[in-house]
Amino acid sequence: MTALHTTAMRLADGRRLVYYDDRPGAVRSTSDLRTLAPLGTRSELRHDPLQDEWVVMASHRQDRTHLPPADQCPLCPSGPGRLTEIPAGDYDVAVFENRFPSLSPDVGRCEVVCFTADHGASFAQLTPERLATVGAAWVDRIRILSRLPGVEYVFCFENRGEEIGVTLHHPHGQIYAYPFVPPRVRRELASAARWRAERGGCLFCAVLDRELADGARVVAATGGFAAFVPAAARWPFEVHIYPRRHVPDLPALDPDERAELLALQAEVLGRFDRLFDRPTPYVMSIAQAPVSTGRDLAHLRMEAFSVRRSAGKLKHLAGSESAAGTFISDVLPEHAAELLGRAARVDLAGRKGARNG
Amino acid sequence: MTALHTTAMRLADGRRLVYYDDRPGAVRSTSDLRTLAPLGTRSELRHDPLQDEWVVMASHRQDRTHLPPADQCPLCPSGPGRLTEIPAGDYDVAVFENRFPSLSPDVGRCEVVCFTADHGASFAQLTPERLATVGAAWVDRIRILSRLPGVEYVFCFENRGEEIGVTLHHPHGQIYAYPFVPPRVRRELASAARWRAERGGCLFCAVLDRELADGARVVAATGGFAAFVPAAARWPFEVHIYPRRHVPDLPALDPDERAELLALQAEVLGRFDRLFDRPTPYVMSIAQAPVSTGRDLAHLRMEAFSVRRSAGKLKHLAGSESAAGTFISDVLPEHAAELLGRAARVDLAGRKGARNG
């Protein structure tokens, strides 16, 4: 366990903010000098009896901050005459409660994770030192949020790009602490339970073994992890990273393993950006064990997918996907893996990648 | 059963086309004079072992016709010097096999249903006579496709608007004949089976009764049908239309009931277009019984939803929806129902609607 360098405070409306610094000694004592009305909004959970799923009603989000100009970015550090969500004049990583939460505090928790004070950077460009801080912050938040009453699943993810609805460009992720196990997680744990009952062992380990044996969809591998396009990928570009070791969640990795995983994720996201002549919109996320159920079945995984299917075209979800639930993919997973292999910065033999110097 | 006025033919590459006319006597004998290479593409079904769902690989669709100018629309009637997918110089409704099918013929079937020869029209603007023809064509296609070997579910839907990825603007729907029961249908039938085992009766009838008793989300009702925003709606604007009578699928309605349902659907879609100052992108679809399973549990329903959440904003699916499977809605269903009520062309008291003359 590496030491955490943290400073905790409250924002003007009472929301919690925690600085996670790369190194000890940073002074993050600036108070939030804004005048903010307290949050009075409430989310509502409604159960859909047909799909047997919870839907979150968060109508207070309809008027959330939407694509402000860069000089009004609320995730940049504060400066003279310009007060943002981050009171300090600089920071490494900052985590705070979302002012427009999908899950209001009576229902769950929504946190924002700023990866860097540099407005124009991206997760793929973070230094190894910063990736370690982001990983340590995720683990700390997962531990803290998992202890909150009623929280059943902690979900760390990043939405990047206007094409998937991002309203702030500053590099940041989010953490949702749901009061239930979300449907995709619930279904994969049900599949893992069936697999174990019928064939024994871990479904996810079996999937990883199959991908490594096949090899056609593997885009990168390290001593501890393998990144591949799943055989039945839904999205034009989709990569899953599995630890070779059977671990249920991010806190179960040791710091070296975590660094290896995050470096691999940054490498994959860097390749996403080299696929086309513009930044690639993506969702990256961490799939892991729920708080109080299914821990014996779960196997940690990082995912990333993009909705961009070619330089000028996006994959949209329409009737088959949204109304029937069946994905139609225009890009073969083997072809996506080949393109992602070519987009490597440096190939396995040490030569420069084919597409970008 | 009303009489069908149909003319069947083959297109130049062997695909089937059927004209469904409003009245008897139309001559639709023009041959397809184009030179078309035969379709040599194959879809591939891949099983996702985590979600236990089939994903359709259709990489031949990557280069499908994409937003051609109106004077090159392949769904308009053919004319001198301009040969389209519809050989006739005019038509009422035309159904043909998609040249770029998600499901190639060895796997399933994908048909295109042109609602009108009028390029600039919309489903909401169809006459009652034409709606009857569309309904009769759907029933005929459902019956024919249900008899094909391997087909387990026939799904009729319309995608409308570039915002959800539509590549052709001409008013048309689609029919997918899947070789499996799609996930959303499978899950709702599982819910209906649990409901029957635990509480008895039909889940869908119970949902309808609850919505009618509550009333806050009902947007329109007729003697045979009720249209409402579901209590746990996922989309900013979403309407489900249930028959009051327990029927499993569209063919089980009599022609008068079918006309009533389609008129109600056209009314709802017309209201969608009056919500904002521009045409509203939508997906409409028919949920009904699978071909060979679950018929005793199913209850016919039409759905329509839009991704537009305000005049200038769309609902995007990002981390919570796509990676965790949990929808966050920005628009309360009761508020959506109120706006859709105000968008009625003529309100229940016979006065003109508040928003549009």
CA-to-CA distance for A251 and B327, rounded, in angstroms? 27
Average pLDDT, rounded, for chain A:
93
Q: What is the structure's pLDDT at A349?
A: 43
Best probe of the B interface among A43, A44, A57, by most B CBs < 10 A, is A57
| Domain B5-29+58-178 class in CATH | alpha beta
- Return the number of other C-beta atoms located less than 10 Å from residue B34's C-beta: 13
State pLDDT tens for residues A52-63. Answer: 999 999 987 766
| Calpha distance A179→B91 (Å, rounded) | 54
Segments in B79-153 forming alpha helices (H): 128-146
In this predicted model, what pLDDT tens digit does every residue of A268-300 receive, in sequence order? 999 999 999 789 999 999 999 999 999 999 999
Residue B266 CB neighbours (<10 A): 21
| A303 interaction partners in chain B (CB closer than 8 Å) | 323
Q: Which of A169, A172, A240, A299 is an active site residue?
A: A172
Predicted pLDDT at B347? 47
Mutate to test the interface with A, among B152, B202, B329 (most CBs of A within 10 A): B329
Q: Mark yes or no for CB contact B58/A320 under 8 Å.
A: no
Judge whether residue B202 has pLDDT over 60.
yes
Q: Which of helix, strand or coil describes residue A225?
A: strand
Nearest CA-CA partner of B20 in B148, B145, B151, B114: B114
Q: What is the ipTM of this complex?
A: 0.94
How far, in Å, are A36, B5, B9, B79, B113 from residue B24 at the CA level?
A: 70, 5, 17, 23, 19
Residues in chain B with CB shorter than 8 Å from the CB of A46 are 231-232
Considering only the beta carbons, identify the residue of A190, A204, A234 that sits closest to B55.
A234
The pLDDT assigned to B357 comes to 31
Contact, A7 vs A19, CB < 8 A? yes
Nearest CA in chain A to B174: A319
Q: pLDDT tens digits for A166-200?
A: 989 999 999 999 999 999 999 999 999 999 999 99
**What residues in B contact A332, CB-CB < 8 Å?**
57, 59
Contact B318 A185 (CB under 8 A): no
Cα B112 from Cα B90, distance rounded (Å): 17
Judged by CB atoms closer than 8 Å, whether chains meet at B61 and A330 is answered as yes
Confidence of residue B346 (pLDDT cuts 50, 70, 90): low
* CB contact set of B68 (below 8 Å; sequence gap of 6+): B74, B168
Backbone φ, ψ for residue A284 (5° rounding): -120, 150
Structure tokens at A88: 């300090």
In this prediction, residue B356 carries a pLDDT of: 37
- DSSP class of residue B255 equals H
Across the range A319-331, mean pLDDT stands at 96
Q: Which tokens hold the place of A354?
A: 């084919």
Task: Give the architecture-level CATH label for domain A183-342.
Answer: 2-Layer Sandwich (3.30)
| Rounded Cα distance, B324 and A110, in Å | 14
Q: Three-class SS of residue A256?
A: helix
Q: Judge whether residue A356 has pLDDT over 80.
A: no
* CA dihedral of A331, A337, A338, A344, whole degrees rounded to 10: 130
Q: A234 pLDDT exceeds 90?
A: yes
CB nearest B332 (choices: A48, A59, A326)? A59
Q: First vs last Cα of chain B: how many Å apart? A: 37
Compute the count of residue pairs across chains A and B with CB atoms less than 8 Å apart.
Answer: 228
> Any idea which residue has 């602490």 for tokens?
A177
Distance from CA of A298 to the nearest CA of B (A): 11
Q: Answer whether A49 sits within 8 Å of B335, measured CB to CB.
A: no
Closest CA to A265 of A285, A251, A250, A280: A285
Å from A316 to nearest chain B CA? 5
Of chain A, the end-to-end C-alpha distance in Å amounts to: 37
Q: Is residue A174 a contact partner of residue A110, using CB atoms and an 8 Å limit?
A: yes
Closest CA to B113 of B159, B70, B148, B71: B159
The domains spanning B5-29+58-178 and B183-342 adopt the same CATH topology = yes
CA distance linking residue B152 with residue A324, whole number of Å = 13
Residue A2: per-residue pLDDT = 62
Does residue B248 have a pLDDT over 70?
Answer: yes
Residue A161 per-residue DSSP state:
S
Across the range B195-222, mean pLDDT stands at 98
Task: Choose, from B5, B169, B170, B172, the residue flagged as catalytic.
Answer: B172
Please enumerate in sequence order all residues whose Cβ is within 8 A of that of B350, keeping only pairs 6 or more positions apart, or say none: none
Nearest partner of B239 among B206, B280, B292, B182, judged by Cα: B280
> Is pLDDT at A66 greater than 80 in this prediction?
no
pLDDT at position A312:
87
B234 and A157 in contact by Cβ < 8 A? no
Q: Name the band, by pLDDT with cuts 50, 70 and 90, for residue B351.
A: very low
| Nearest-Cα residue of chain A relative to residue B179 | A326
Q: Closest chain A residue to B312 measured between Cα atoms?
A: A66
Cα–Cα distance between B250 and B179 in angstroms, integer?
19
CA distance B113 to B177: 13
Which stretches of A291-354 are assigned E, i.e. beta strand? 301-306, 308-310, 313-314, 328-329
Mean pLDDT for A315-328 is: 96
> Torsion-angle region of residue B213: left (phi > 0), alpha (psi -120 to 50) or beta?
alpha
Q: How far apart are CA B353 and CA A290, in angstroms?
A: 49
- If pLDDT is split at 50, 70 and 90, which confidence band does A67 have? confident
* CATH code of domain A5-31+52-178: 3.30.428.10
Contact A57 B333 (CB under 8 A): yes
pLDDT tens digits for range B129-182: 999 999 999 999 999 999 999 999 999 999 999 999 898 999 999 999 999 999
Model confidence at A217, in pLDDT bands (50, 70, 90)? very high
Six-digit token string for A87: 């009171």
pLDDT band with cut points at 50, 70 and 90 for residue B345: confident
Report the candidate in B260, B256, B347 with the shortest Cα–Cα distance to residue B302. Answer: B260
The whole-angstrom distance between B111's CA and the closest CA on chain A is: 13
pLDDT of residue B39: 80
pLDDT over threshold 50, residue A351: no
- The sign of the CA dihedral A17, A75, A147, A60 is positive
Confidence of residue A127 (pLDDT cuts 50, 70, 90): very high
CA angle A224, A229, A233 (to 5 degrees): 135
Nearest to B285 among A176, A316, A319 (CB): A319
For B10-53, give the DSSP string.
Answer: E-TTS-EEEEEESSTT-----------PPP----EEEEETTTTE
Best CA proximity match to A53, nearest among A245, A239, A181, A234: A181
Q: What is the pLDDT of residue B354?
A: 39
Instruction: Identify whether the C-beta of residue A168 lies closer than 8 Å to the C-beta of residue A75.
Output: yes
The count of C-alpha atoms lying within 13 angstroms of the C-alpha of B170, restricted to the half-sphere facing its C-beta, is: 27
How far is B58 from B44, CA to CA, in rounded Å? 7
Helix axes A255-275, A128-146, angle to 10 degrees: 110
Residue A310 has pLDDT above 50, yes or no: yes
> How many angstroms separate the CA atoms of B214 and A123, rounded?
48
Which pLDDT value is given to residue B277? 79
Q: Which chain B residues touch A230 with a CB distance below 8 Å?
A: 48
Q: Which pLDDT does position A346 carry in this prediction?
A: 57
Provide the pLDDT confidence category of residue B348 given band limits of 50, 70 and 90: very low
User: In 3D, which of A307, A77, A2 has the Cα closest to residue B321?
Assistant: A307
Question: Is B172 an annotated catalytic residue?
Answer: yes
Residue ranges per structural domain of chain A: 5-31+52-178, 183-342
Place of tokens 């009578």: B245
CA–CA distances in Å: residue B90 to residues A321, B80, B102, B173, B189: 33, 12, 27, 18, 41
pLDDT band at B197 (very low <50, low <70, confident <90, very high): very high
A143-162 b/e with 16+ CB inside 10 Å = b?
ebbbeeeebbbbbbbbbbbe
Angstrom distance (rounded) from CA A289 to CA A185: 8
- State pLDDT tens for residues A8-23: 999 999 999 999 999 9
Query: Which one of A51, A313, A332 has the shortest CB-CB distance to B184?
Result: A51
| Token pair for B100 | 């770029």
Is residue A109 within 8 Å of A148, Cβ to Cβ? Answer: yes
The H-or-E segment that residue B197 falls in is helix B183-199
How does residue B2 score in pLDDT terms, banded at 50, 70 and 90? low
Alpha carbon of residue A244 to chain centroid: 20
Cβ atoms of B7 and B24 within 8 Å: the answer is no
With a cut of 70, say whether residue B352 has pLDDT above it: no
Neighbours of A221 (CB within 10 A): 17
pLDDT of A308 over the 90 cut: yes
Residue B350 has which token pair? 């016979």
| β-bridge mates for residue A332, sequence order | none
For residues A181 and A189, what is the distance between their CA atoms, to the nearest angstrom? 10
Q: How far apart are CA B225 and CA A226, in angstroms?
A: 53
CA angle B269/B272/B277 to nearest 5° reads 135
pLDDT at B250 over 50: yes
CB-closest option in A158, A322, A331 to B59: A331
Distance, CA of B125 to chain centre: 15
pTM (2 decimals)?
Answer: 0.94
| Mutation for B interface: A41, A46, A50, A153, most B CBs within 10 A | A50
Is A56 in contact with B326 (Cβ distance < 8 A)? yes
| pLDDT attached to residue A62 | 66
Return the DSSP state at B224: S
Lowest mean pLDDT across A224-228, B36-40, B119-123, B135-139: B36-40
Residues 6+ apart with CB under 8 A from B198: none
Percent of chain B with pLDDT over 70: 95
